[in-house]
A and B are shown apart, each in its own frame.
Chain A
């Protein structure tokens, strides 16, 4: 199984900050990586797919990059509504797996 390791697990930040979340895969997953945002008590929401393609209506302050085994999600100029937990997911092979999550919290 492909393991996804997200870091950090917790990320204290302030409005206006630029934050970066890393997702490392235990083996190469080509470009089969997606990022989701989840707020408490809500279903996850798709942000980015195929590493760097922004989902429709997702603000352009979100971006994704990477290849092979290391990927990043960057949020430029963090907004109040961005405080949430973020998950990466690999779609390269079964079983599909998620990273452990990164909670972006108010500093």
Chain B
């Protein structure tokens, strides 16, 4: 069974940093591209970014709203995905989902999400 479990959320002040983790199991993690998607309270879904697999050089893509502040990385030896968030803003407050990308591009598995609150 595919499982994605996020951790690391919490309360952080504006301008601060936070690192989210996602532990993957039940599939060959290293083969897949992985995404982060977020959802502000009461709002819709926003794609945050993606890291490709090693075969595609672990390259990344980001939404404009986080580009330059957020960094996605992965450790295939640990079956883990990470989201390093710097220079956090109040508008980054959201539930952050870790997600697996299927080969045809869609997201076929999601974690349960972890809440990040940016507030003074």
Contacts and interface: CB of A to CB of B under 8 A. Distances in A.
A55 B108 CA distance: 9
Interface of B is mostly: strand
Contacts of B110: 43-45
Contacts of A63: none
Contacts, number: 57
Interface in A9-55: 32, 34, 36, 38, 42-46, 49-50, 55
Contacts of B111: 43
Contacts of B104: 49-50, 91
Contacts of B47: 89, 95-98
Contact of B44 (A46, A49, A96, A101): A101
Judged by DSSP, the binding face of A is loop
Nearest to B113: A43
Nearest to A94: B61
The 10 residue pairs across chains A and B that have the minimum distance between CB atoms:
A91-B105, A43-B110, A49-B106, A34-B106, A96-B47, A98-B45, A101-B44, A95-B63, A94-B61, A100-B44
Interface of B: 35, 37, 44-47, 50, 61-64, 97, 102, 104-108, 110-113
